Copies of this chain bind each other. A is one copy, B any other.
């Protein structure tokens, strides 16, 4: 089962209360690919980078089964660059620099070699581009998952609303779910969003876990309590990669299996935050992931024998 991922491949410079980095590799599609490639290959990457993006990074992805035919390299421009500083709670951050660079011209085309696509992950992008990608597939992918952000809710609402009608799973954080619907209660917000197109809604709450809504059902996955959250950058995209990776591996898009997929996503995200950038995702093994999943079982399983 192949996964196509559309999103950014970029440089980040990150400052946390504990440490800081120079420019390191980031971008939503990078994190999704690193996480998903543990579960299924190939990952068919669609992105855009500049002349400064290291060849070794592309090769490292290729070695993990990530196809880069769809990654456009612009010879005379620089890669997208984001710099941010996290507050002590690690849930909120200030953006210091956003240099769009090549991202300003991102107008992706789905390569012919990607047409065989069962699972499509649309990273946070201009909603019109998300639509264009979907429309370029001759056969609709079996499952389309999309991310978005407050910026598009505020500036491209009509396009975003249209994109919502075209996808199966919407992945947003709690404040975005509230912003889309004007409902403070996440249960009420979910009920509204499930009438707007997506059949499944995942609400990410950072260190407070994630909720999955479908019809009138709800499932909750906690974040793993950790000694330290070292760097939350990319945790949401890593979560998405684990989620879609598990679904593609198991070829099962039922609500029941999505529960497990969300736990897998949470496990992957719990690794991501342990070091800067993609560093931890590059280190871990399938065995590490299996052990972390067992820790999740211990974290939430209880015996209810009702008298």
Contact = CB atoms under 8 A, between A and B. Distances in A.
A185 B186 CA distance: 26
A187 B303 contact: no
A290 to B, nearest CB: 5
Interface in A206-228: 208-209, 211, 217-222, 225-228
Interface in A288-307: 290, 293-294, 296-304, 306-307
Given A184-B88, A208-B208, A302 B219 contact: yes
For chain A, the bracket of interface size reads: 35 or more
A22 interface: no
A109 interface: no
Nearest to A262: B302
Q: Which of A208, A222, A228, A249 counts the most B-chain CB atoms under 10 A from its CB?
A: A222
A297 B218 CA distance: 11
B259 A303 contact: yes
A19 interface: no
Q: How many copies does the complex hold?
A: 2
Contacts of A263: 302, 304
A293 B300 contact: no
A198 B184 CA distance: 37
A205 interface: yes
18 contacts: A88-B184, A187-B227, A205-B208, A208-B208, A209-B209, A218-B225, A219-B299, A220-B222, A220-B299, A249-B307, A260-B303, A260-B304, A262-B302, A263-B302, A293-B306, A297-B304, A300-B302, A301-B301
Interface of A: 88, 184-188, 205, 208-209, 211, 217-222, 225-229, 249, 256-257, 259-260, 262-263, 290, 293-294, 296-304, 306-307
